[in-house]
Amino acid sequence: MINLLERWLVFPAPRVAESEWNPPDLEFEDVYFTSHDGVRLHGWYVPHPQPRATILYSHGNGECVPHLASRLRVLNQSIGATVFAWDYRGYGRSAGQAHESNVIPDARLAQEWLANRTGISADHVVLLGRSLGGAVSVALAAEYPIRGLVLDRTFSCLLDTAAHNFPWLPVRWVMQNRFSSAKRIRNYHGPLLQTHGTADEIVPLAMGKQLFDASPSKQKHFIEIPNGNHNGPLPDYCYKALAEFLDALPPTK
């Protein structure tokens, strides 16, 4: 029962309508890759002929790849990036059950797949994560070299976020998934761009700032979104800042 409750809290894979698998005005390639323990995973690869950057996108816990169509369209067509968005285990067309112990190595495989597909080295991939996907991206960046890290409305620690949203549950005692991002980010010294809304009802602004403050990066920028909530679209100026951030990254060889 406790394990079922935790999966519902941390990895509540949403349903996908059949129509969402064919979004208009977005050309993508269906991608399947296999985890180290044989689980089949799925994602969408959205190439750009002359990319400003190559981005691995890790989504929030209440999203899956088909829900990202509008965001992928902006990243690809407006920002000019090649993007690979992938689904955690049990999400969309990915098999299995997600857990902190497998989503991080799965993210590494997604990073390597993207690097191989585009002909670049894995350390030239930019990681972009939203909410829980930010925690996945931080964990990956703490272990492996990357070109840059972009975090959108993510938390310093999953336990703190769960306790904030479910104060009547003993989450600190029973949860196995912890995603201690504020500790992990201390091992990442590269460029960082972080966005967070002042009215985020799921991950309070203070948690985002705690994560940002824990970063030892000498090239980092935090953007507060006035009255911004957790799931709303990002303002245009955030995408402008993203484009500038990508242009300022060390060039790839």
Closest CA to 98 of 177, 1, 180, 202: 177
Q: What is the pLDDT of residue 167?
A: 84
pLDDT tens per residue across span 101-113: 999 999 999 999 9
Q: What contacts 24+ positions apart, CB below 8 Å, involve 202-205?
A: 202/131, 202/153, 202/161, 202/165, 202/230, 202/231, 203/131, 203/153, 203/154, 203/155, 203/161, 203/230, 204/164
Q: What is the pLDDT of residue 5?
A: 66
- The stretch 141-160 carries a mean pLDDT of 97
- The stretch 161-166 carries a mean pLDDT of 87
- Please answer whether residues 206 and 234 qualify as being in contact, where contact means their C-beta atoms are separated by less than 8 angstroms: no
Q: What is the pLDDT of residue 164?
A: 86
pLDDT tens per residue across span 112-135: 999 999 999 999 999 999 999 999
Question: Does domain 2-247 correspond to CATH entry 3.40.50.1820?
Answer: yes
Mean pLDDT of the chain: 95
Q: What is the pLDDT of residue 4?
A: 65
- The stretch 74-85 carries a mean pLDDT of 98
Check pLDDT > 70 for residue 253: no
Of the ranges 41-50, 63-72, 165-174, 231-240, which one carries the lowest mean pLDDT score? Answer: 165-174
- The stretch 21-33 carries a mean pLDDT of 96
Write a three-state SS string for the chain.
Answer: CHHHHHHHHHCCCCCCCHHHHCCCCCCCEEEEEECCCCCEEEEEEECCCCCCCEEEEECCCCCCHHHHHHHHHHHHHHCCCEEEEECCCCCCCCCCCCCHHHHHHHHHHHHHHHHHHHCCCHHHCEEEEECHHHHHHHHHHHHCCCCEEEEECCCCCHHHHHHHHCCCCCHHHHCCCCCCHHHHHHHCCCCEEEEEECCCCCCCHHHHHHHHHHCCCCCEEEEEECCCCCCCCCCHHHHHHHHHHHHCCCCCC
- Please answer whether residues 137 and 111 qualify as being in contact, where contact means their C-beta atoms are separated by less than 8 angstroms: no
Percent of the chain with pLDDT over 70: 98
Check pLDDT > 50 for residue 2: no
CA gyration radius, the chain: 17
How far is Cα 3 from Cα 174, in angstroms, rounded to an integer?
Answer: 9
Q: What is the pLDDT of residue 1?
A: 42
In the chain, where are the structural domains located?
A: 2-247
